[in-house]
Amino acid sequence: MKILVLNAGSSSQKSCLYEINPHTDLSTPLEPLWEASIDWTVSQEYGLLKVFANGESRKIDLPLDDRGEGISIMLETITHGHTKVLSSLGEIDMVGHRIVHGGRSYSQSCIITPEVEQTIEDLIPLAPNHHPAHLEGIRAIAHILPNIPQMAVFDTAFHSTIPPQAKIYPLPYEWYEKGIQRYGFHGISHQYVSQRAGMILGKPLEDLKIISCHLGNGSSITAIKNGHSIDTSMGFTPLEGLMMGTRCGSIDPAILLHLMGEYGYDQEKLNHLLNQESGLLGISQVSADVRSVISAIANGNSQAKLALDIYIHRIQSVIGSMIPQLGGLDVLIFTAGVGEHSPLIREKICSSLSFLNLKLDLDKNNNKCVDQNIALDDSAVAVVAIKTQEDWAIALEALKIAQK
């Protein structure tokens, strides 16, 4: 079975093509037959498409004024040139899409019907940076491959198991009835890495109390018990929770009232402040990238040091708040760009958890350590750095639906 995966962000489009045979070992992610990425922000004049297949790579400039046409050009590389892996796009059996927000309507993956597409459009106000891009991909595929089924995999679905006491905000109950609640995000990633941790450790997922730290430009932490999400740091939108690259995370909501009343901030200006000007960038005044912040610290930049200190403090605080709900901790997972690749961040976070008898193996932590336990043998808590594979997880969800 050939499954195409589209993972659209606000400024990017990542795609993979997998071939899964009846006897394929699904416990380990397959290498895609073909993979591509589009960066719509690399230039003010064009988008940049990068394609890799058959050991060959291609770069193609794309028009900025028609993203649907850009997706069409991307798909042509599957059947033409040095990156050709199929004779016809008609060989594709199913297309899977990552959809950031499913609202209350969708707590599991499903085939995209006109009703599902309309719901995705209706939820644009809750995911304004992502849902328009998701719809571009869905509609482009429907135009190019009208007879191939498309499937939505919702980032919020994994968090549908969060209990009411963690899901409902302490606002008048009528607002919960209107849909204001904690939805959580990065669910595809958190679900995948928790399952992968069980495989790496050779233990049933149902027996593990897990805290998963998805640390990238966008970051979230999830508490997982018996294989289910029971709490997560992101909330009604991806803005809540941790300090991130440019997002502030959780703050006193009265600050917003103050900015509106004293400084005349409107909705648009507040949205830009909270999502684009805050976080690591806002405090450090250097960069939203952890690597650049760490480099600035090495050069004596005190604001960069403060930014990293706040960043670590907030991660540690969220981890600490979730341990009582889990009733302990068996596994701490680090994933995504920062979680997978920054030994310093992992070391700093773990340094405050020694009261759990968590003991990080510094040698393992400082060397190539992806997809393995990097805790000492006598540590009471396993520490696992895992490469998140959202595209593979989406492909597996598509396979499940196809088999049904």
**Residues that are catalytic:** 155
Start-end of H helices in 123-228: 131-144, 164-167, 173-177, 187-201
Q: What is the SS3 assignment for 151?
A: strand
Q: How far apart are CA 190 and CA 152, in angstroms?
A: 17
Q: How far apart are CA 133 and CA 353, in angstroms?
A: 40
Q: Across-strand partners of 94?
A: 3
Helix (H) / strand (E) containing 382:
strand 382-385
Q: Cβ–Cβ contacts within 10 Å for residue 178, how many?
A: 10
Start-end of H helices in 202-301: 254-263, 267-276, 279-284, 290-298
Q: How far apart are CA 8 and CA 10, in angstroms?
A: 7
Helix (H) / strand (E) containing 337:
helix 336-341
Q: Which residues are annotated as a binding site for substrate?
A: 98
Question: What dihedral angle (degrees, nearest 10) is formed by the CA atoms of 124, 127, 131, 133?
Answer: 130
Q: Which residues are annotated as a binding site?
A: 7, 14, 98, 214-218, 289-291, 337-341, 390
> What contacts 116, CB < 8 A, 6 or more positions away?
106, 110, 152
Q: Cβ–Cβ contacts within 10 Å for residue 294, how many?
A: 16
Start-end of H helices in 171-253: 173-177, 187-201
User: Do residues 168 and 47 make contact, with C-beta atoms less than 8 angstroms apart?
Assistant: no
Helix (H) / strand (E) containing 326:
helix 302-326
Query: Phi-psi bin for 55: left (phi > 0), alpha (psi -120 to 50), beta?
Result: left
Q: How far apart are CA 95 and CA 145, in angstroms?
A: 10
Q: Which residues are annotated as a binding site for ATP?
A: 14, 214-218, 289-291, 337-341
Q: What is the SS3 assignment for 375?
A: strand
